[in-house]
Amino acid sequence: MELAVQASSITEVQADVIVVNLFKGVQTPGGATGAVDRALGGAITRTIARGEFTGKLGETVTIDTMGRLPSAAVVVVGLGPAAEFTYDRARTAAGAAARQARKAGAGTMATIVHGAGIGGLEAARAARATTEGTTMGLYRFDRYRTSDADEPKHDVQKVIIVEQDANKARLMEAGVRRGQVLARAVNFTRDLVAAPANDMTPTRMAEAASELARGLPLEVQILERADMQRLGMGALLGVAQGSAEPPKLIVLHYRPAQNRGGRPIALVGKGITFDSGGISLKPGEGMGDMKMDMAGGAAVLGAMQAIAELGAGVEVYGIVPATENMPSGTAQRPGDVVRAMNGKTIEIISTDAEGRLILADAVCYANTLGVGAIVDIATLTGACVVALGNHASGLVANNDELANAVIQAGAEAGERIWRLPLYDEYKEQMKSDIADIKNTGGRPAGTITGGYFIGYFAGNTPWVHLDIAGTAWRSDKDYGEWPKGPTGVGVRTLTHFVLDYSLSV
């Protein structure tokens, strides 16, 4: 999809559909929306008066221009109460408006920048938010659909970001570019997560990483089973031994053209391409959703794409241990003991607590690279869904400064993150009678103990764990920039974290 910034009035733009906005409770439109209303002889005002549009956040109405404007239709989108408006709400409004424009038949749509006028938001950031919301909101995954005469598909091919003030339009260009890079990386990640497990195998995930690296300042290395055996990655290999699919350890390495200094960052993502639970088999109902258990790994790949395109000033490793977790005659059993790369032994209590096992070896590997910080991201625990639902990701960390930086990056991205404690008492749940540690501490505080397990292998390196089990997939209706299905959560948080980190060193 092509994006462009144009300095002109929205009433003069040549597009199939134009998008304007309105705050909740406004009866007489002003600004660009007022100009469109006047051109339409007060059609927007009359729509409000009839109660057909209130300005609620994400609410839309489509009005035929009846030939009074170069466009065929106008979509008006609600911004919610003016006092509550934020960049995040700008993204929400942009996503809702873009889908409505597509529904109205737009091949080309033009939109004002939500919040850059009377909304009072900074122009470039508002343009970035509008771009992200539009591009992410238009996402859909139909790779496997054949032609359907009952539901013809068309897509928006071009989006024009319109600003009448030429000086502001120039400022917006950088925001639009950054928003496009971030949203494209999110949608790349969504494609990986949405693909079925018979397609998105560990091998295919490794190929996707190699394809992504082409044309970008990214080095790629794929470690095979023999490499993992040589390195002593018994935790990862224990999970992989039940599957006919070979495991892969994907390593992307970004070296900045101008390094600002500081030790490298490691981004580590769980890449379980299908999780049956292994011998500790999951219930059959809903098991098909476990194709998305590699969403953390996919987020790392998407973030590495964005980091490389935006030219971060710090060295970054993206590490994704990828494997299936399957039951078979060769699968590991509850009661087994495996040895991680750092020599620590692990008693397997449940083979369905497998994500932390593959992350243990990946985190150990990151430490051998001399990194100064590790951020891991994983669909790790159902307990996180119980604790936080589907509206926030959980975080545990061994370093307050790093935790705050990641939470702030999430706020910049519009991705909510809630920190959970990591008290010493939780360690008692992880003690094993026969090994250094066991892979689950039972039901109490499951999100925290799952994170603690990974942190055990981070050692003294500053480390943050993000649990995205509740936020990686949207199972209800489309909303704003979040269409139903994979969300791509984590991509923008990780990218903003790295970009901000590179400015602080």
What residues act catalytically?
Answer: 282, 356
Q: Which own/partner pairs from 214-218 qualify as long-range (CB within 8 Å, at least 24 positions apart)?
A: 216/305, 216/308, 216/309, 217/254, 217/255, 217/256, 217/257, 217/308, 218/252, 218/253, 218/254, 218/304, 218/308
CA nearest 350: which of 448, 496, 238, 258?
238
Give the DSSP H/E element, type plus range, for residue 222. strand 218-223
Residue with tokens 């950088």: 174
Phi-psi region of 261 (alpha: psi -120 to 50; beta: other; left: phi over 0): left
Rounded to the nearest 10°, the torsion over CA 436, 351, 201, 368 is -10
CB 473 within 8 A of CB 487: yes
- The amino acid sitting at 43 is A
CB 502 within 8 A of CB 260: yes
Q: What is the DSSP letter of 220?
A: E
Structure tokens at 161: 């970001």
CB 450 within 8 A of CB 356: yes
Q: 3-state class of 373 per DSSP?
A: strand
Residue with tokens 């699919």: 245
CA 176/CA 3 separation, integer angstroms: 8
CA 130/CA 455 separation, integer angstroms: 37
Q: Looking at 336-491, which runs of residues are DSSP E strands?
A: 337-339, 345-347, 373-378, 393-397, 417-419, 437-438, 463-467, 473-474, 485-486
CA 162/CA 195 separation, integer angstroms: 35
What contacts 442, CB < 8 A, 6 or more positions away? 429, 449
Q: What is the DSSP letter of 56?
A: -
Strands 393-397 and 463-467 come out as antiparallel
Strands 473-474 and 417-419 come out as unpaired
Q: 3-state class of 432 per DSSP?
A: coil
Structural Rg of the chain based on CA atoms? 24
What contacts 140, CB < 8 A, 6 or more positions away? 483
